[in-house]
């Protein structure tokens, strides 16, 4: 494969089965941590999160790459901090055939948007002709593998005030995912319920 696959192979790994999900935790030699959650039915990643330095950022400070962002809380008022209901925000999904981004709170008609690739930075550039929105979206899945991006793989549509962008997975990414999944299935998996039941109060 490539350097990224080798890095995953060398990392210390653990796996837990929790209901319909397979959760894999990676500890890398450089101190970084990665957690990926797979749907057991589709074998697609539903969540991917990174922690670079837990000593500096705190035990719960994870950077979400795929899936919904972590809720934020106000420690003083002990309540959840809600996102501005009118501001655009992005969530990421992965399907069997596509990488997907949903930008919510985008009220403009479909002909206002353009989505183009920036090959030099493995990014998608989202802009509107009315100059109300501009965003550079990094595509780390392809960057880690060094797979060149192709404009023909980009599609987007607009509905319910949401711009939905899809990038068709190239063959190299699909092959990587299939090979990695076989490696993951070799990791001895613990059952989440058994782990909880096995914890005895002190």
In this model, does residue 59 exceed pLDDT 70? Answer: no
Chain-centre distance of CA 55, in angstroms? 23
Query: pTM here?
Result: 0.86
**Structural domain spans, the chain:** 3-66+86-193
CATH numeric code, 3-66+86-193 = 2.60.40.790
Q: Which of 128, 118, 88 is nearest to 105 (CA)?
A: 88
Helices (H), 49-105: 54-57
Residue 85 tokens, joined: 């209901």
Q: Backbone dihedral region of 126: left (phi > 0), alpha (psi from -120 to 50 degrees) or beta? A: beta
Rounded to an integer, the average pLDDT of 115-137 is 95
Rounded to an integer, the average pLDDT of 4-33 is 95
Q: Taking the CA atoms of the chain, what radius of gyration do you get in angstroms?
A: 19
């Amino acid at each position: 494969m490539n350097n990224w696959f080798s890095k995953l192979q060398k990392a210390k790994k653990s796996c837990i089965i929790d209901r319909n999900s397979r959760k894999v935790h990676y500890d890398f030699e450089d101190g970084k941590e990665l957690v990926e959650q797979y749907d057991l039915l589709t074998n697609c990643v539903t969540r991917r999160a990174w922690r670079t330095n837990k000593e500096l950022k705190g035990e719960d400070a994870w950077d979400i790459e795929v899936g919904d962002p972590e809720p934020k809380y106000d420690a003083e008022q002990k309540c959840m901090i809600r996102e501005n209901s009118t501001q655009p925000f992005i969530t990421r999904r992965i399907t069997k055939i596509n990488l997907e981004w949903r930008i919510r709170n985008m009220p403009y008609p479909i002909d206002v948007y353009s989505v183009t690739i920036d090959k030099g930075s493995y990014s998608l550039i989202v802009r509107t002709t009315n100059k109300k929105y501009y965003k550079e979206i990094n595509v780390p899945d392809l960057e880690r593998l060094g797979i060149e991006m192709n404009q023909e793989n980009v599609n987007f549509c607009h509905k319910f005030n949401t711009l939905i962008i899809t990038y068709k997975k190239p063959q190299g990414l699909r092959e990587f995912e299939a090979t990695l999944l076989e490696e993951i299935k070799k990791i001895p998996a613990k059952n989440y319920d058994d782990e909880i039941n096995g914890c005895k109060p002190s």
